[in-house]
Amino acid sequence: MTDQPLMTADSLSKFYGARTGCRDVSFDLHAGEVLAVVGESGSGKSTLLKLLSGQMPPSAGQVMYAMRDGVTRDIVSLSEAERRFLFRTDWGFVHQDAAAGLRMGVSAGANVGERLMAVGWRHYGRIRDEAETWLERVEIDRDRIDDKPTAYSGGMRQRLQIARNLVTNPRLVFMDEPTGGLDVSVQARLLDLVRGLVADLGLAAIVVTHDLAVARLLSHRILVMKDGRAIETGLTDQVLDDPREPYTQLLVSSILQP
């Protein structure tokens, strides 16, 4: 990891009238680091993810991102075109519902190939070969390349969405409950796959999850949210094995109860 953070959230807040989405959240994320944002429903973790990924503007605070040219920019100051370019090149976003992150009416190969075309690939044969390679990397048979995602199971759709996001070698991937709604056995296989890919590619990732087992398996550091605030943060194993805050203790004990 480099000394310069890849992303910095500084006193990030979002208010909806009298209601708080999140308040005064600050952290640094370095290249190659995985941060899990955990908490119950309504804790503010999904709002935080939207702020970090530029999908909504903050009420206060800022999100600074180190671009590939070394210049650090405030995400809010970027134009819509610049944000779209980031999502084509530097960023990925894995949705809980894979249908939100895929084009369901075109083939699996086209879903992966579109990302390559967005960064300048033009040779059809090379694009198809790379798409086949990535389908194999996410454990989808090459002969399913021309099938549409509508013909895939839920777990396969999620793996296809991951391939679509990672094929352009992004530096940062946002994941919103990536295993939510999947069977336990499918979840375990998907988590092993994601952990391997993140490590192999040296990706930074921000993973929103209510599942502490997901956080433990995937992340280096953890940020615990309650009522819109970050109430505890630290190394994942340290926080989960020896939580300081009563709320974190309650989260950990409840997940460990039979």
Average pLDDT, the chain: 92
| pTM of the predicted structure, to 2 decimals | 0.93
Give the per-residue pLDDT at 240: 96
Encode the chain in three state secondary structure.
CCCCCCEEEEEEEEEECCEEEEEEEEEEECCCCEEEEECCCCCCHHHHHHHHCCCCCCCEEEEEEECCCCCEEEHHHCCHHHHHHHHHHCEEEECCCHHHHCCCCCCHHHHHHHHHHHCCCCCHHHHHHHHHHHHHHCCCCHHHCCCCHHHCCHHHHHHHHHHHHHCCCCCEEEEECCCCCCCHHHHHHHHHHHHHHHHHHCCEEEEEECCHHHHHHHCCEEEEEECCEEEEEEEHHHHHHCCCCHHHHHHHHHHHCC
Give the per-residue pLDDT at 258: 34
- Over the stretch 135-175, which tens digit does the pLDDT of each residue have? 999 999 999 999 999 999 999 999 999 999 999 999 999 99
Q: Which CATH class is domain 7-90+172-256?
A: alpha beta
| Residue limits of CATH 3.40.50.300 in the chain | 7-90+172-256
- Over the stretch 195-234, which tens digit does the pLDDT of each residue have? 999 999 999 999 999 899 999 999 999 999 999 999 999 9
